[in-house]
Structure 1
Amino acid sequence: MDVDLRKLRYFVAVAEQLHFGRAAERLHIAQPVLSRQIRALEEELKAQLFVRDKRRTELTAAGEQLLADARPLLAAAEALRRRVGRAARGRDTFTVGFMPGLIVTTAVRALAQRHPELTVEVVRTTWDDQVEVIRDGRVDVGYVRLPVDQRGLRLRPLLTEPRVAVLPTEHRLAGKEVISIADLAEDHLLQPPDAVPEWRDLATELREGRRVPEPAFHSVEEKLEHVAAGQGVVVLPLSVASFYTRPDLTHATVRDIADNQVCLAWDSARRSPLIREFVAIAEG
């Protein structure tokens, strides 16, 4: 049986929204059309994907499995489309993704010098999309900060660096060069607790059940604005905190948490000589 990628996209939209109406709006199609397509997909797969009633829509076990498998499949299809499109337009390009705080100029310049006919581009990524841009073909390789979902990727460790707590200048710990994670137990962390498990295991607001979910930040700059406003603290790699230095913020090394690991990552299914060459350059 051939799986229809369009139906898979429709399915993922409903699975992410858990609402047929909102999914139809996102896809710019009529809701009855979307419902028919999902029913057709269920018939093709011989599995019920959703349980619906008047109040809610939920994924079945089969739906959960399909969602886990469909996302990387759609990303791979999009990556294929991008690469074929570039080839058809005669654009010989190589794109490198990089996270904030990382400088990739030396490796990028070295590859460009070796291949004058090649256009080498760079794309700044975020915690939310550093892996997504590899899977969907927007970048050929990416400098990523762990942890990431490593499924379908190859990773090559490059370096580690300490992490620091970024604080407003009026914070009680401001001025200290080194602190313990226990010193932040009373503070509100403007990150998911799992991002700093050492803090999660000590945090007073978690123990007392009064944690307010952190806002959905889209950049380092947004996080730092909230820190400067006194709404909480963040833990960042040292290079990131140093790059975004500003007069109303300070930072202190946290001595008893794990360092941040930086790796080079690429799609494990690709066999590109340019990827191998760039990895060798970056490691050197």
Structure 2
Amino acid sequence: MDLDLRKVRYFVAVADLLHFGRAAEELHIAQPVLSRQIRSLEQDIGLELLARNRRSVALTAAGRQFLDDARGLLSSAQAARHRMYRAAGGETHLTVGFGWGMTVAAITAEFAARRPGVTVDIRQLAARTEAEAVLRGAVEVAFVRAPVPREGIVLTPLGSEDLVAALPAGHRLAGAAALTGADLDGEPLLRRAGSAPAVVRGAASLVRAAWGAGPVEEELELVARGGGLTLLPQSAAAFYTRPGVRYVPLLGLPPQEICLARAAGDRSELTSAFVRVAEGVGWVGCPRPLAPA
């Protein structure tokens, strides 16, 4: 089945608004033309995607499924076009993404020194959106904290960071030089997905919590008010210093790996050059950098 991406884009507009008239206005085309294009797409696929009558438009079961896939198709096409134009245009621009609490100046400065003719833009990305930003071409490379979705992504390890426990300043453990997972058994641990604190039972619970993501500032506000504990990588803890919170190193837990993510289909020499520089510099916020590959 050959899909016309223009028709796919029209379908997404209608599916988002569930109104042919408003979708046609947004797309700057006539409503009858839009209706014919959607009907043509349904004929191409062989399934009805939208159930419509004179009063309403609704997605069918097939339409709901296709909407998710359609967004991915359009993002992939946009990313492919972006990489193609970069390759054709002499590659003088690179966009680098990074996650929460990261400081990437050492690597980007070294790259700028080696490639003075290249403009490097730095973009902070929302937690756990870094890989998706790479796949849709919003950034060429992104610094990420593992684990991340690996489909369509190539990860280059740069280093690892130990974790620290963020405790209320008045907590009984806040003055400790270091803690282990056993020390935190029975403590209320905040979940970075926004749910209520859960009581920690063993190191496995701590590790799962450490790989979460979300609004760190809000979480630390809860910690400062005595609402529970949380875990952060060392560099993030240094970034998010604030009154009412004490950070204590955690011993005996696996460190969190820092990687550089790029699209598997990106064959850009400029992207490869940035990866090589990042490998050579290593993760500066990491107390035990990994050896360059």
Alignment: residue pair count: 263
Q: Percent identity?
A: 40
**For the residues of structure 2 that align with 1:181 and 1:5, how far apart are their CA atoms?**
55
Instruction: Report the counterpart of residue 72 of structure 1 in structure 2.
Output: 72
| Structure 2 residue 110 is matched with structure 1 residue 114 | no
For structure 1, the residue ranges without an aligned partner over 5 or more in a row are 204-213
Instruction: Report the counterpart of residue 135 of structure 1 in structure 2.
Output: 135
Bigger drift between 155-164 and 256-265 goes to 256-265
**How far does residue 178 in structure 1 lie from its aligned partner after superposition?**
1.1
Instruction: Report the counterpart of residue 266 of structure 2 in structure 1.
Output: 270
Instruction: Report the residue type matching 2:4 in the other structure.
Output: D
Instruction: Report the counterpart of residue 241 of structure 1 in structure 2.
Output: 237
**For the residues of structure 2 that align with 1:251 and 1:10, how far apart are their CA atoms?**
51
Instruction: Report the counterpart of residue 250 of structure 2 in structure 1.
Output: 254
**For the residues of structure 2 that align with 1:200 and 1:9, how far apart are their CA atoms?**
48
| 1:182-227 deviation per Cα after TM superposition (whole angstroms, max 9, x unaligned) | 725441423139xxx9958887xxxxxxxxxx9x95x432332233
| 1:17-63 deviation per Cα after TM superposition (whole angstroms, max 9, x unaligned) | 7x947xx79x958xx999987665443212355799xxxx7874785
CA contact (8 A) 2:96 2:122 kept: yes
| 1:67-124 deviation per Cα after TM superposition (whole angstroms, max 9, x unaligned) | 5643432222232455577799998211211223333223222222222221112112
**Alignment TM-score, normalising by the size of structure 2:** 0.69
Instruction: Report the residue type matching 2:191 in the other structure.
Output: L
Instruction: Report the residue type matching 2:218 in the other structure.
Output: E
Instruction: Report the residue type matching 2:272 in the other structure.
Output: R
CA contact (8 A) 1:165 1:254 kept: yes
SS in 1 for 2:102: coil
**For the residues of structure 2 that align with 1:267 and 1:82, how far apart are their CA atoms?**
12
Please list, as runs of the form range in 1=range in 2, the aligned pairs for 1:193-232 lying within 5 A after superposition.
217=214, 219-232=215-228
CA contact (8 A) 1:179 1:252 kept: no
CA contact (8 A) 2:224 2:243 kept: no
**How far does residue 272 in structure 1 lie from its aligned partner after superposition?**
0.7
Please list, as runs of the form range in 1=range in 2, the aligned pairs for 1:25-174 lying within 5 A after superposition.
40-47=40-47, 60=61, 63-64=64-65, 66=66, 69-82=69-82, 92-174=92-174
SS in 2 for 1:76: helix
Over the aligned positions, Cα root-mean-square deviation in angstroms equals 4.3
CA contact (8 A) 2:98 2:142 kept: yes
Larger radius of gyration: 2
Instruction: Report the counterpart of residue 210 of structure 1 in structure 2.
Output: none
**For the residues of structure 2 that align with 1:58 and 1:184, how far apart are their CA atoms?**
48
For structure 2, the residue ranges without an aligned partner over 5 or more in a row are 53-57, 206-211, 281-293
Instruction: Report the residue type matching 2:94 in the other structure.
Output: F
**For the residues of structure 2 that align with 1:189 and 1:230, how far apart are their CA atoms?**
11
SS in 2 for 1:222: helix
**Alignment TM-score, normalising by the size of structure 1:** 0.71
SS in 1 for 2:221: helix
